[in-house]
């Protein structure tokens, strides 16, 4: 499937002794989900594999990292990217109670409300606490701190201040993959040079569209679908931004 979609698979390996990582998803009637993850072969991604990919990391426009592999590998990935001046987008999921030691060196950090709690140590149930969390994360050294607020949008704090970039209301079928779609869309938009607010609007559209379909990979929208969706909603520049 990755090859069919044009994704580079040179550094995807096979382990004969461990099963592929799996996720078992329980879906509620309102489309919200609960996921049980089994790491499997993901947990065999040792730092030496990250070192092998260092030349590719150094050439990247944007590096996206999550926590489904061992933390020493995440830390090395961030170190290599930072040393080579490559921006790092860190999506702290799955939330397992620990953070990489160098998490604050990430260029962008994008927790949702639940993940933000284990970054800053308190619950973020509303815009005010999410804004507080984003400010604290930014103060720790993260250039662009974003706390995702689901359909309400995303709270961002950077050198320009703290603000809420509004989201999109859609008919939710299944929220599985929405966070992944957001992360991918944000990384692409920032790497292509969009301003932060516009990049978040693009990412919000990606996440919203993922909620309208069942599944994880099958729910991820294609670019032309995102652009059409945005055009129907006034484009990235037409998204509401509220200073916090």
The residues assigned a catalytic role are 180
In the block, tokens 């070192």 appear at: 51
Residues in contact with 170: Cβ distance below 8 Å, sequence separation at least 6, in sequence order: 151, 208, 209, 211, 212
Q: Can you tell me the distance from the alpha carbon of 3 to that of 10, in angstroms, rounded to the nearest whole number?
A: 10
Order of strands across the sheet with 63-65? 63-65, 88-90, 108-109, 144-148, 154-158, 161-165, 241-243
Of residues 189, 114, 99, 179, the one with CA closest to residue 144: 189
């Amino acid at each position: 499937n990755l090859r069919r979609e044009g994704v580079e698979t040179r550094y995807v390996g096979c382990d004969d002794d461990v099963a592929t990582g799996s996720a078992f998803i329980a879906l509620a009637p309102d489309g919200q989900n609960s996921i049980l993850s089994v790491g499997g072969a993901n947990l065999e991604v040792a730092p030496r594999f990250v070192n092998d990919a260092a030349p590719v990391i150094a050439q990247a426009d944007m590096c996206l990292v999550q926590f489904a592999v061992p933390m020493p590998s995440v830390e090395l990935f961030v170190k290599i990217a930072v040393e080579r001046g490559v921006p790092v987008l860190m999506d702290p999921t799955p939330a397992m109670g620990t953070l990489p030691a160098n998490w604050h060196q990430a260029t962008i950090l994008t927790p949702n409300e639940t993940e933000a709690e284990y970054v800053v140590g308190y619950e973020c149930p509303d815009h005010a606490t999410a804004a507080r969390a984003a400010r604290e994360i930014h103060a720790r050294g993260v250039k662009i701190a974003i706390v995702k607020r689901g359909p309400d949008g995303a709270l961002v704090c950077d050198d320009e201040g703290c603000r809420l970039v509004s989201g999109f209301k859609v008919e939710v079928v299944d929220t599985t993959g929405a966070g992944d779609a957001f992360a991918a869309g944000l990384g692409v938009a920032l790497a292509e040079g969009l301003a932060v607010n516009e990049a978040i609007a693009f990412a919000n559209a990606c996440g919203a569209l993922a909620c309208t379909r069942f599944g994880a990979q099958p729910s991820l929208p294609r670019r032309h679908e995102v652009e059409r969706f945005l055009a129907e909603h006034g484009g990235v520049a037409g998204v509401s931004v509220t200073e916090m």
